Amino acid sequence: MIDVHKTEQENETSYSSSKYRTPDGAPADIVIFTITSSKQQGKKALPARELEVMLIQRKKWPFEGQWALPGGFCAESESIYECARRELQEETGIADVHMEYLNVYSRPGRDPRGWIISHAFCALVHEDILAGRRADDDASDVRLFPVQEALKMDLAFDHREVLADALERIRERMLTTTIASEFLPEAFTISELYQVIRTVVPDFEEPNFIRKITSTQSREGIIEGMRDKDGRPILSNRYSQRAAQLYRFTGYLPSLSIYR
């Protein structure tokens, strides 16, 4: 009969990490997107909205002076997620952002400092959360850039690849969750909702958009039309001369695409 306990002790005694090459660092990189909005002057219209990403300008070698995603090395005393939260706050002053794990990046030569395996996180947050951003620690500047402009920039490391992957992730989330509600007032028009979705997913088209998201066939609708105490539709003309029906999210959370 094998003494399992003894075997485990023998394995522990004979094991040595010196037999293996370990990475030279495990940083976290963070992709923070937001939807900025600005009032269009001189006409009654929806605000102009644009998808932007937060970048920092590196203060130190390597890639000193180049724009990059915020991030930094993980300490032995913290998880990689804790590292991401700490580095985001240290470099940009932004705290308490819920981030989603994106991917691991380990292509040989991606970092001139050695064998560096990076773990990336991403989030799409309201622009108010980023209002207090400030450059600190290893960053000499922090700014918001339109995503399409950022994708054309010579970003440090492999951060353009990370950014492109993160963009695909938030586009997926925009079409499969109710995250659009974070960028809308409690009562909104279909045009406002449609604009928010297309800001993140430019090629989004759905001929039966209204019918699909208000459908009650076999399931609760994603949104519902607002009505007054007498059951009459509540209308608004804040962005157009012609009054439009106001809607609100019902709280229903689907497991599949909700807009297609």
- For residue range 78-108, list pLDDT tens digits in order: 999 999 999 999 999 999 999 999 999 999 9
As given in the structure block, the two tokens for residue 8 are: 């485990």
To the question of pTM greater than 0.85 for the whole model, the response is yes
**How far is it, in rounded angstroms, from Cα 183 to Cα 94?**
19
As given in the structure block, the two tokens for residue 74 are: 């993980």
Query: What is the chain written as a DSSP string?
Result: ---HHHHHHHHHHH--GGGSPPPSB-EEEEEEEEEEEEPPTTS--PPEEEEEEEEEEE-SSSSTT-EE--EEEPPTTS-HHHHHHHHHHHHH-------EEEEEE--TTSSTTSSB-EEEEEEEEEGGGGTT----TTEEEEEEEEHHHHTTS--STTHHHHHHHHHHHHHHHHHHSSGGGGGS-SSB-HHHHHHHHHHH-TT---TTHHHHHH--SSS--SEEE-B-TTSPBPEE-SSSSS-EE-EEE-----SS-S--
**How far is it, in rounded angstroms, from Cα 184 to Cα 170?**
17
Please tell me the predicted confidence (pLDDT) of residue 12.
66
Please tell me the predicted confidence (pLDDT) of residue 99.
98
Please tell me the predicted confidence (pLDDT) of residue 7.
62
- For residue range 210-247, list pLDDT tens digits in order: 777 776 443 567 898 999 999 999 999 888 878 999 99
- For residue range 136-167, list pLDDT tens digits in order: 878 999 999 999 999 999 999 999 999 999 99
- Point out which residues pair with 245 in neighbouring strands: 235
- Residue 6 above 80 pLDDT? no
Rounded to the nearest integer, the mean pLDDT of the chain is 90
For the ranges 6-10, 129-133, 165-169, 185-189, the lowest mean pLDDT is seen at: 6-10
- Residue 1 above 80 pLDDT? no
Please tell me the predicted confidence (pLDDT) of residue 253.
77
- For residue range 36-83, list pLDDT tens digits in order: 999 887 677 899 999 999 999 999 999 999 999 999 999 999 999 999
Q: What angle do CA 125, 174, 177 make, to 5 degrees?
A: 100
Please tell me the predicted confidence (pLDDT) of residue 218.
38
- For residue range 170-196, list pLDDT tens digits in order: 999 999 899 999 999 999 999 999 999
